[in-house]
Chains A and B, each alone.
Chain A
Amino acid sequence: MSTLEKFRAISPAEFFYRNKEIAGFSNPARALYQSVRELLENALDATDAHGILPNIEVSIDRDTSKPVVYRITVKDNGIGIPEKYIPEAFGRVLFSSKYVLRQTRGLFGLGAKMIVLYGQITVGEPAEIVSATMGSRKVYSYRISIDVKENKPIILQRGVWPNTTGWHGTIVKIAVEGDWGRAKQKILDYVRRTAIVTPYANLVLRTPDEEIYTYPRVTDKLPPPPRETHPHPHGIDIEMLKIMAGETEEQTLLDFISNEFQGVGRVIAERFLRDYGFKLDKNPKELSKEELEAMAKALKEFGEFRKPRAEHLSPIGADLVKIGLNSILKPEFVDAITLKPVVYEGHAVIVEVGLAYGGAIEPSDEPQLLRFANKIPLLYDEKSDVSWKVVSENIDWSYYEIAFPAPIAILTHICGTKIPYKGVGKESVAEVPVIEHALEEGVRHVARSLKLYLTRKQREEEYMRKAITIIKYIPEVSSALTSFLSSNPEPVDPKAIEDGLFELVKKRYGEHIKELPHPRSIVLSVE
């Protein structure tokens, strides 16, 4: 795919003031959290989505003279930004085209520009960007601010120097007003949860408290990158259809319908157009407002399109979920499943569920829930999320022999080109039946395998307990037995009887007590 998105400009200041709350900049704590999160997500999108194993460093520095000012620096080893796009990418508020669909982390398509603008309003320092694309022989640096009225970048400084080490990636440094004290827990949580679903990344976080959190890479396996796809007719609305019809290069409705949508072949496209009375050779650009409305309705209604496909999505994969849960939560048991895609309003959605149990997980009165949507951790509004409903209401844990408090964590991941978020904050997912059912199926699957594991473990433990019940008496019994042999012409070593008894116990419980070297490893002392 082309690494450059197609852009469309709107007035940034206007948008920002209208959408400050929605975009997550409602207060200094939330703004700091949101800034770290946007930059980290961009860094990941610049790496794993392009097949690069990410090395990402996030530093947050407190200004020595102004304690509400924080400088956020994020450094990645991604594909980099072509030099001519650097000012645009950071200095003009833009929208991604909706003409093609792709699963991305970014929630609003605003990313770094929002932070540049927020920083400019609250602190007033220009943003610093250093970047080199893959194979570039030069490294470029920019200091940029935004001309709010004109919605265009102001370049304050530009630097170029030779790329001697072959480095590629981007370094972004932006100063914003924040509140580390109140944002700290959320930011730590966010990075930690991100590390769970990106076990293939090296993540380093340096905090204003001079603490360093490192999440080293534990696997070289990357999930397949998401790909662009055409929208499915069932997922279309009038606005979108208007844009598509206006921008298409196809000359006839037949070509437009069969080439610009997924799940539609030529034969089906022809039948669709005939059924609804559209002319096959009409130019899409000539559709009237009424015709567009009728066509949007018809596209949603027509039942013969193929189901939306999910090949373009990028689930994490059960293996990586297990690796991530293992390396961050250090549980004793882990399992995960990627379910078959389901369809939500014409968009394919893939649900993944993971479970971690025991080990370093602290027991709690409710399952610990780790929610993700398109690989982004969701930290707020947990109790109104469909995953919470499934985990706390739909599942009867006693059926799986889990009694709370229990050391159990459930991970849910919903990925798709459209996620049914609840409300404008995009922090919780709505109770859509198909998604709820998939989540429930997934949770039941991993809970079943936990139950199986616990039953087996209990059985093993029972054998071990029985064996130890016997073994702990070996020194006592052998020393007694030795005393009856004291009249033997050749003295018998109590160790010989000890070994003999241990051999007999091994004969009975051999399989289950392999790791026990000797009775003396069980019996510490006989007083």
Chain B
Amino acid sequence: MDGERRLTSSVDVKARQSAADRIRKSFEEIAKAVLAGEEPKLIIPRRTLSNTIYSTEKGILVLGSATFERSFVDAKESRKFMQTMLMARIIYEALINNEYPTIRDLFYRGKHSIRYRDHRGRIGEENTWDEQKESDSVLRDIEVYVNLLREEMLILSKEKGKVVGDMRIRSGDDVIDLSKMGHGAYSIEPTPDLIEFIDVNAEFVLVVEKDAVFQQLHRAGFWRKYRAILITSAGQPDRATRRFVRRLNEELNLPVYILTDADPYGWYIYSVFRIGSITLSYESERLATPNSKFLGVSMTDIFGSSQRNKKPYLSESERRNFIIRAKKTDIKRAQELLNYEWFKTEGWKREISLFMEKQSKLEIEALTGKGLYFLADTYIPTKIELKDFIE
């Protein structure tokens, strides 16, 4: 095709240009060092648990100041160094060529074999990388090295998050009305920073862990009735969903409530939304929503609390039918969570110790077992009204 090859929105062009410049500047220096006879090395912030700090001030996980050196002439590091250069080059060229690679694309573009003669004269063959794990790892290194998130480098990830609500947005050159999605929903695009909010008619954001529950609430007309933006992360939230939620909270001042299963995995999903993940703490600054609230399902929703004069939402017989015995791995995970700084609040200590005591967990779907509209019209509105959530 001739003529204009691509219709690129102006936001896109700007983002592209600045990311490409930043990458070129960072790596040009390495090339110049080599030409000047200096050892090429990268000084990269460490992405380890020990260099992940919980900032009480910001309420999120941030990367500490520890760095490590990756030198090409160090036999232990040279492969990683080569991979980093290869990845940087692929990203840079994709930016210049107006492309939107996914992380899988990056993996395939860079994967090829190097044939060489080894120290015993035998012919050896080695792939630049064998698994996507390797290319993903150097991609993260580049994110922290040039201080740009992959979204800012216009790298797409698989989209998983969905949203509906009384709201209009601009994506690319189209305006999308999120209240007119029928039984479907808008897939949160991998570059949420390129989304422009046009207008919104909502009082809060509800994020549910389970896609099935999201669909039930959507069909029950929950978001229209209670003026909510309804989102699902469909399990562990991806980066785009987290960034989108963060922008709703930060730019539109909407409170964010999170609804997950009543188990340590549900709690961790909440924790990722709120303070960030340990492996990707460098992105928390832009992805975490520190004032989001854990709406439920909480242990006291199941068992009640005489201390707080709270009645349970489930009757004795419902409890018997719906709760699941916690597994050993659940218990272990709960104990780990107690070690994290950000789970050391009164509310969470109470929640986790009740879990340990009862050794029971519950899925959100159990609540719909009480009747289709119980969740939508009783449980959620009551919890929000009574401010019965954990922070």
Question: What residues on B are CB-neighbors of A160 within 8 Å?
Answer: none
B118 at interface by CB-CB < 8 Å: yes
Question: What residues on B are CB-neighbors of A464 within 8 Å?
Answer: 119
Decide if A480 touches B88 in the complex (CB within 8 Å): yes
B114 at interface by CB-CB < 8 Å: yes
- The stretch from A90-98, A145-153, A501-509 touching chain B is A501-509
Decide if B114 touches A485 in the complex (CB within 8 Å): no
Decide if A472 touches B81 in the complex (CB within 8 Å): no
Decide if A527 touches B82 in the complex (CB within 8 Å): no
* CA distance in complex: A461, B82 (Å): 23
A402 at interface by CB-CB < 8 Å: no
B30 at interface by CB-CB < 8 Å: yes
Decide if A508 touches B73 in the complex (CB within 8 Å): yes
Among candidates B72, B92, B115, B128, residue contacting A524 with C-beta atoms closer than 8 Å: B115
Decide if A504 touches B27 in the complex (CB within 8 Å): no
Question: What residues on A are CB-neighbors of B89 within 8 Å?
Answer: 479-480, 483-484
Q: How many residues of B contact A (CB 8 A)?
A: 38
B374 at interface by CB-CB < 8 Å: no
Among candidates B28, B37, B92, residue contacting A500 with C-beta atoms closer than 8 Å: B37
Listed residue (B85, B92, B116) with the most chain A CB atoms within 10 angstroms of its CB: B116
Q: Which of A234-285 contact B (CB under 8 A)?
A: none
Decide if A504 touches B35 in the complex (CB within 8 Å): no
Instruction: Name which residue of chain B comes closest to A487, CB basis.
Output: B24
Among candidates A461, A481, A523, residue contacting B27 with C-beta atoms closer than 8 Å: A481
Q: Which of A454-511 contact B (CB under 8 A)?
A: 461, 464-470, 472-473, 475-485, 487, 492, 496-497, 500-501, 503-505, 507-508
The distance from the CB of A511 to the nearest CB of chain B, in whole angstroms, is 15
A288 at interface by CB-CB < 8 Å: no
* CA distance in complex: A527, B115 (Å): 8
B251 at interface by CB-CB < 8 Å: no
Decide if A525 touches B115 in the complex (CB within 8 Å): yes
Decide if B112 touches A497 in the complex (CB within 8 Å): no
* CA distance in complex: A46, B293 (Å): 107
Instruction: Name which residue of chain A comes closest to B75, CB basis.
Output: A466
* CA distance in complex: A217, B37 (Å): 52
B34 at interface by CB-CB < 8 Å: yes
Question: What residues on A are CB-neighbors of B27 within 8 Å?
Answer: 480-481, 484
Question: What residues on B are CB-neighbors of A476 within 8 Å?
Answer: 82, 85-86, 114, 128
Decide if A470 touches B78 in the complex (CB within 8 Å): yes
A1 at interface by CB-CB < 8 Å: no
Listed residue (A479, A487, A507, A522) with the most chain B CB atoms within 10 angstroms of its CB: A522
Instruction: Name which residue of chain B comes closest to A476, CB basis.
Output: B82
* CA distance in complex: A499, B72 (Å): 14
Q: Which of A429-474 contact B (CB under 8 A)?
A: 461, 464-470, 472-473
Among candidates A477, A507, A523, residue contacting B72 with C-beta atoms closer than 8 Å: A477
Question: What residues on A are CB-neighbors of B31 within 8 Å?
Answer: 481-482, 484-485, 492, 497
Decide if B75 touches A504 in the complex (CB within 8 Å): no
Listed residue (A461, A468, A475) with the most chain B CB atoms within 10 angstroms of its CB: A468
Decide if B35 touches A465 in the complex (CB within 8 Å): no
Decide if A504 touches B113 in the complex (CB within 8 Å): no
Instruction: Name which residue of chain A comes closest to B77, CB basis.
Output: A470
Instruction: Name which residue of chain B comes closest to A496, CB basis.
Output: B35
Decide if B72 touches A501 in the complex (CB within 8 Å): yes
Decide if B82 touches A473 in the complex (CB within 8 Å): yes
Decide if A472 touches B114 in the complex (CB within 8 Å): yes
Question: What residues on A are CB-neighbors of B82 within 8 Å?
Answer: 473, 476-477
Among candidates A465, A481, A482, residue contacting B119 with C-beta atoms closer than 8 Å: A465
Question: What residues on B are CB-neighbors of A492 within 8 Å?
Answer: 31, 35
Interface string of B25-42 (1 = CB under 8 A from A): 001101110110101100
The distance from the CB of A295 to the nearest CB of chain B, in whole angstroms, is 68
Decide if A527 touches B128 in the complex (CB within 8 Å): no
Instruction: Name which residue of chain A comes closest to B89, CB basis.
Output: A480
Decide if B112 touches A480 in the complex (CB within 8 Å): no
Question: What residues on A are CB-neighbors of B93 within 8 Å?
Answer: 483
Decide if B114 touches A501 in the complex (CB within 8 Å): no
* CA distance in complex: A469, B118 (Å): 8
* CA distance in complex: A484, B128 (Å): 19
Instruction: Name which residue of chain A comes closest to B28, CB basis.
Output: A484
Among candidates B34, B79, B112, B120, residue contacting A504 with C-beta atoms closer than 8 Å: B34
B328 at interface by CB-CB < 8 Å: no
Decide if A485 touches B28 in the complex (CB within 8 Å): yes
Listed residue (A477, A485, A500, A503) with the most chain B CB atoms within 10 angstroms of its CB: A477
Among candidates B24, B32, B37, B126, residue contacting A472 with C-beta atoms closer than 8 Å: B126
B7 at interface by CB-CB < 8 Å: no
Instruction: Name which residue of chain B comes closest to A519, CB basis.
Output: B116
Among candidates A477, A500, A505, residue contacting B81 with C-beta atoms closer than 8 Å: A477
A526 at interface by CB-CB < 8 Å: yes
Instruction: Name which residue of chain B comes closest to A508, CB basis.
Output: B73
Can you name 27 A-B residue pairings with CB atoms under 8 Å? A465-B118, A465-B119, A468-B119, A469-B78, A472-B116, A473-B78, A473-B82, A476-B82, A476-B128, A477-B40, A477-B82, A481-B27, A481-B31, A483-B92, A484-B30, A484-B31, A492-B31, A496-B35, A503-B37, A504-B37, A504-B72, A504-B73, A507-B73, A524-B115, A525-B114, A527-B112, A527-B113
Residues of B within 8 A of A (CB): 23-24, 27-28, 30-32, 34-35, 37, 39-40, 72-75, 78-79, 81-82, 85-86, 88-89, 92-93, 112-120, 123, 126, 128
Top 10 nearest A-B pairs (CB, nearest first) are A466-B75, A473-B82, A480-B85, A481-B31, A480-B89, A464-B119, A472-B116, A500-B34, A524-B115, A484-B27
A479-B89, A484-B89 known; 10 new pairs, CB 8 Å cut-off, are A467-B119, A470-B73, A478-B34, A483-B92, A485-B31, A497-B31, A501-B34, A501-B40, A508-B73, A525-B114
